[in-house]
Amino acid sequence: MKNLYDENNIFAKILRSEIPCNKILENDFALAFSDINPQAPTHILVIPKNSYVSFYDFTKKAEIKEVELFWNLVNDVIEKENVHETGFRLITNSGNHGNQDVPHFHVHILGGKNLGRMVN
């Protein structure tokens, strides 16, 4: 898997405020915003503010504090969107077999309806 970070990927542009996003929440290390093409009533992306290609890259390289605050933000969004009781799904696509489109690590938070089986 390629681990070379592309500074021109769309999420890097969102982080540099070169293109807009519908911000939901942020902290020092992570940003949450609505997916532009929602696949469920709740579909939010959480991304680290630093540059990582994938979950693997992030988990290998990020400082513990950064990892902690990233997942804290995921949980804060889950709470803010009120899906902690009804249920939700976290997805992080990675690389070719994971069908990852945007090469900046991100977690999808999906909820608001029954999401069906895991892989179709």
Q: Which stretch binds ligand 5GP (CB under 6 A): 34-42, 56-64, 70-78, 109-117?
A: 34-42
Selected binder of ligand 5GP within 49, 93, 95, 115 (CB under 6 A): 93
- One-letter amino acid at 89 equals R
Is 84 part of the annotated catalytic residue set? no
The single-letter DSSP state of residue 118 is S
Cβ atoms of residues 54 and 3 within 8 Å: yes
The single-letter DSSP state of residue 47 is E
* CA distance linking residue 43 with residue 17, whole number of Å: 21
Q: Is 35 in the site for ligand 5GP (CB under 6 A)?
A: yes
- Closest to ligand 5GP by CB, 36 vs 63, is 36
- 45 Cβ contact partners less than 8 Å away, ≥ 6 residues apart: 11, 32, 33, 34, 35, 106, 107, 108, 109
Q: Which stretch binds ligand 5GP (CB under 6 A): 1-9, 29-37, 66-74, 78-86?
A: 29-37
- Report the catalytic residues: 106
Given the rule CB under 6 A, which residues bind ligand 5GP?
Answer: 10, 21, 33-37, 93, 99-102
